[in-house]
Amino acid sequence: MDFTLKPVFLLTIVLLYVAINVNAVRTKDKMYENIDASKACFRRLNATHQIGCTSKRGGSTGVIHYCRSQSDLDFILKNGTAPPYVPVIPTNLFTTSNVNRLKQSSKISGVLLYAGDENPDYFTHEQQCPNPESSLKGTCKASNVWNPHGTGLLYQDIPFPVFFVESEETIKFAKECFDKYNNHSFSTQRDRSLCSLQLTSFMYAATNSSTCIRRSNMITNLNPVKFCDPLGDNNAWASLFPLVRGPNLTEPIRDVGYIVVAARMDATSMFDKTEGAISPVTGLVALLATAKYLKTILPTDENFTKNVLFVVFNGETYDYIGSQRFVYELLKGNFPTKSKEFLPEIRMDDIDLFIELSQLNKTETVVAHYLSGTKLKDFLLKLRTNKGDLSFDEAEDSLPPASVHTFLKNRTNLPSLVLADHRGPFLNPFYNSVYDNASNLHYKYLNLTKDDISQSDNIQTHVQKVATMLAKSLYLEITAKSYQGPEDVADLQFIDELFHCYLENANCRVHQAIQKLELNTQPISLYIGVEVAPNFITTLIGLTLGWVTGDVTGPGNRNCTNEPKNYALRYYNMSRSLDDLNTTMCYRITMNFTEAVSPAFIIDGYDWSSGQYSTWTESIWGDIKLRVFLKPSAAHENMTIAVGSMVFILALLLVYFVKSRAHILFAPQLPTLAPTSC
C-alpha cells in the first residue's frame, strides 16, 4: 500500500465509525417527552364574544399536580409553593365552580383532563338553553330549561389551555413523573427540579368574529395572516319522488306541496373530539330509516299532490347555521337552484308540514312537541294510528331547540312538530360532550343480515318503531290510504349498520355500499368544522340518503351516467343491498347538497350587531401539542442566568482589554519598501 494513502484510509475508518455509532439526538428531544392523543379546547368567536381556550404564544408551562379528588385540587390552590401549576384532573372535577376558581387563581397556567375511573353522572358544557339568541323567544323558560345540567363552559372564555387526554398510558406516565419528582414535601417544591407540562394551543383570533374576519381580509403587507374561518359545511337533502316528470324527466313538477322531514347531523364538544350518539345520531338514523322504509312502501309517484323532502342540516349546534342558510335561500327563491328552468322553485309556502327528528334515545315515550295554533291535529292522529306498541305522547306549546325554530321565525303558522325522547328537559346527561357515545346509547352492534329480527328491546328496535310509525303516517298523508302491503316494519339491519357507521366504524357496510373508498375504521367527527375544509361525513350522509330514496334504473355499469345531462337527477352505481355489496345497480337519485355557511358571511355589509344570523367562526392556530419536561429548580435557573451573564461581561472586558493593548500584543506591521524599479 502506498504509504501516503494511509492517513486518508485511517481517517475514513474513523469517520465511518463515528457516523455509525453516534446518533445525533437533539437537545430538545432529550429534554421533552411529547404526548400524543390529546384533544385541545380551542377558541371560537361570534359577533360579540370570544369563547374557548388559548395558551400563551409559544405555549404555557406549569408544574404537574395530579389530582384524584377535589381535596387534591384545593390543596394545590391553597398550598402550592412553586407556581404556575397544571392540575391534571378527572372529568368529574371539571365543573363551573372549579373552572371559576382556576380562572381566579394566579397559580394556574393550564389544565389537563382525563377520564376518571367511572363516567360522571352528567357532563355537558352546552348552555342550559341551547342557542338562546337564535331560538324562538319563550321556548326555553328559566324554570324549565332544556339542558338542566348544562354548565355553559363551552361558551366561556378560558384564559389558559385545557387539554383532554384520552390515552391511559399518558396519564400513567404523567402520574409516575409527578410521584417521582413532585409528590412529596410540597413546602420545598421551589428548591428542586419538578416534573412539568408545556401546553401549546395558541389561538390567533381574538375579540369577535367581525374583528377577525376583517383582519383576515386585510392585505396590508406581503404576508397576510388569517385569523379565523367561518364555521360551515353542507346540508344534504333528497326528495322521495323526483322533482321532474315527463318521458325524459325534464318537466319540473310545480304544483305540489312538500312535507319536510328534517334532522341535524352535527354535534360539538369542549374539545376537538365529538361523539354525538344521542344527539344527533339517533335522529339522523331515524330519518334515514324513515326515508328507506317510505321508499320501500311508496316507490313511485302516482301524481300525488305531496312529495317528501328529507333534509339533514349541518351546524345546528352553532345557532342553526344550516337551517338559517336553507331558509335564506328558500326565501330568496334559490332552492333547489337559482335557475328555475330545470327544477321547480320550492318556496316557504309550499311546505305543508315540517317534521323534525330530534334526540330519540330509547326512553318510555316518544313525544311530539309543537306550538299551539298550527294545524297538526290530522297528522298527530295519523301518528297515533300508526304508533304500534310505541308509547306516544304530545307536548303542546313546547319546542325544544331544533332547526324548526328557524322556519317558524319566518313563517309562524307553519305546521310543524319535533319528535323527541323527552317531554321536559333533555334526558341525555352528556348533550354535546365526549361522553355522548355508543355506551350512552347502550348500543351494541348486532351485525344482522336482512330480515333478521332482534328479540331484545334495544335502541335499534326503538328507532325502527319510530321510523315505521313516521313512514306509515307519511304514507297515509300522501296517499290518503293506510299501508296494507307486506313490508311491515322499517329495515332493522339498516338501522343497526347506520349506528355502527356513525359511532364505531366508518368503514361499515353502508359506506361500502354507497361509494368505493376504503375508509378509516375510526368514526368520523360530527363537528361542523370550518367552511374551507369540507367534511367527508356530510358527503357520506348525502349519498346514503340518495341511496335509500333513489330509483333503480338497471344493473350497475359504466352506462350509468347522466347522459344527456339532466340537472334534476344524479346517477350513481351503488350496491344492491347490504348483504350483496358486490352487485351494483344503477341508482337515479334526487339528492343534493346546499351550503351550510351562515348568511352573515355572504351578505355584503352585514350588520354584525343585528343578531339576525349565526356568526360563529373558529380561530386559526399554529400548533397544538403537549409535552412533559423536567423544570429545574428556581435556584438552578437563577444560577444559569447568572453564570451566563458573567461570562458575557467577562468576554466584553477581555475584548476591550485586548483591543486597547493591541499595539503591545501584536507586532506592528513593517512599512513595505518602495519598489526599486521606479
Partner 1 sequence: MDLSKVPNERKLYLCRWYFRAGLALLPFIWTVNAIWFFNEAFRKPEYAEQKQIRKYVVYSGIGSLIWAVIIITWVTIFQINRTNWGEFADNISFIIPTGSP
Residue bearing cell 403587507: 221
SS3 659: helix
Q: Do 146 and 126 meet the contact criterion of CB atoms below 8 Å apart?
A: no
Specify whether the CB–CB gap between 496 and 319 falls below 8 A: no
List 202, 379, 502, 547, residue binding partner 1 (CB under 8 A): 202
Neighbours of 125 (CB within 10 A): 25
Nearer to partner 1, 203 or 578 (CB): 203
Sheet holding 232-239, edge to edge: 392-396, 366-370, 416-420, 351-357, 257-264, 306-313, 232-239, 591-597
Region near partner 1 per CB under 8 A, out of 1-9, 196-204, 533-541, 597-605: 196-204
Comparison of 225 and 658: residue with beta carbon closer to partner 1: 225
Q: Alpha-carbon distance 618 to 51, whole Å?
A: 10
Number of residues that bind partner 1 (CB under 8 A): 16
Nearer to partner 1, 104 or 220 (CB): 220
Residue type, 44: R
DSSP 281: I
Q: Which is nearer to partner 1, 187 or 223 (CB)?
A: 223
Q: Which is nearer to partner 1, 58 or 555 (CB)?
A: 58
DSSP character string of 502-514: HHT-SSSHHHHHH
Contacts of 174 (CB under 8 A, 6+ apart): 35, 64, 66, 88, 112, 165, 195, 197, 628
Q: Binding to partner 1 by residue 211, rule CB under 8 A?
A: yes
Closest approach, Cβ 558 to partner 1, in A, equals 51
Write down the least CB distance from residue 300 to partner 1, Å: 58
Q: Are strands 228-230 and 257-264 parallel, antiparallel or unpaired?
A: unpaired
Least Å distance, CB 225 to partner 1, is 6
Closest to partner 1 by CB, 386 or 619? 619
| Residue 218 lies near partner 1 (rule: CB under 8 A) | yes
Q: Which of residues 142-171 bind partner 1 (CB under 8 A)?
A: none
Question: Given the rule CB under 8 A, which of 28-36, 219-227, 277-285, 324-332 is the region that contacts partner 1?
Answer: 219-227
- Complex with partner 1: residue 291 or 600, whichever CB lies closer: 600
Kindly tell me which of 24 and 222 has the beta carbon lying closer to partner 1.
222
74-103 residues near partner 1, rule: CB under 8 A: none
Helices then strands, counting H and E runs in the chain, come out as 16, 26
Minimum distance of partner 1 from residue 672's CB (angstroms): 18
In the complex, least distance from residue 110 CB atom to partner 1, rounded to whole angstroms: 16
Q: Which of 41, 115, 203, 478 binds partner 1 (CB under 8 A)?
A: 203
- Sequence-distant (6+) residues with CB within 8 A of 657 are none
Q: According to CB under 8 A, which one of 204, 293, 304, 502 is a site residue for partner 1?
A: 204
In the complex, least distance from residue 594 CB atom to partner 1, rounded to whole angstroms: 32
Interaction of residue 607 with partner 1, rule CB under 8 A: no
H-state helical runs in 298-376? 321-331
Name the residue nearer to partner 1 (CB basis): 204 or 354: 204
Q: Considering only 197-205, 382-390, 496-504, 594-602, which stretch makes contact with partner 1 by CB under 8 A?
A: 197-205
Residue 374 C-alpha cell reads as 298550527
| Binding region for partner 1 (CB under 8 A) out of 205-213, 263-271, 321-329, 447-455 | 205-213
Q: Which of residues 502-521 bind partner 1 (CB under 8 A)?
A: none
CB 541, min distance to partner 1, A: 35
CB of 663 to partner 1, least distance (A): 16
What is the closest distance, in whole angstroms, from the C-beta atom of residue 218 to partner 1 in the complex? 6
Segment interacting with partner 1 (CB under 8 A) among 211-219, 490-498, 501-509, 555-563: 211-219
List beta partners, residue 354.
260, 416
Q: Lay out the site mask for partner 1 across 362-391 (x = CB under 8 A, - = otherwise).
A: ------------------------------
The secondary structure element, H or E, covering residue 465 is: helix 459-479
Minimum distance of partner 1 from residue 617's CB (angstroms)? 15
Binding mask 15-54 for partner 1 (x = CB under 8 A): ---------------------------------------x
* In the complex, least distance from residue 609 CB atom to partner 1, rounded to whole angstroms: 13
Q: Which stretch binds partner 1 (CB under 8 A): 198-206, 430-438, 479-487, 531-539?
A: 198-206
CB of 111 to partner 1, least distance (A): 19
Q: 594, 572, 596, 600: which is closest to 584 by C-alpha?
A: 572
Q: What is the 3-state secondary structure (H, E, C) of 415-440?
A: CEEEEECCCCCCCCCCCCCCCCCCCC
Cβ contacts of 462 within 8 Å, gap of 6 or more: 360, 361, 362
Positive or negative, the Cα torsion across 406, 408, 414, 416? positive
Which of the stretches 201-209, 269-277, 502-510, 533-541 binds partner 1 when contact is defined by CB under 8 A? Answer: 201-209
Region binding partner 1 by CB under 8 A among candidate stretches 185-193, 212-220, 249-257, 303-311? 212-220
Nearby residues of 324 by Cβ (< 8 Å), 6 or more positions away: 134, 406, 598, 599, 613, 614
Burial pattern 494-503, b for ≥16 Cβ within 10 A else e, equals bbbbbbbbbb
Cell numbers given for 22? 453516534
- Near partner 1 by CB under 8 A: residue from 57, 141, 254, 442: 57
Compute CA distances 325 → 264, 265, 539, whole Å.
14, 15, 18
Q: Burial letters for 230-263: b for 16+ Cβ neighbours within 10 Å, e otherwise? A: bbbbbbbbbbbbbbbeeeeeeebbeebebbbbbb
Is the Cβ of residue 565 or residue 659 nearer to partner 1 in the bound state?
A: 659
Q: Does 205 bind partner 1 (CB under 8 A)?
A: yes
Query: How large is the angle between the packed helices 459-479 and 377-385, nearest 10 degrees?
Result: 130
| Interface contacts to partner 1, rule CB under 8 A | 54, 57, 202-207, 211, 214-215, 218, 220-221, 225, 227
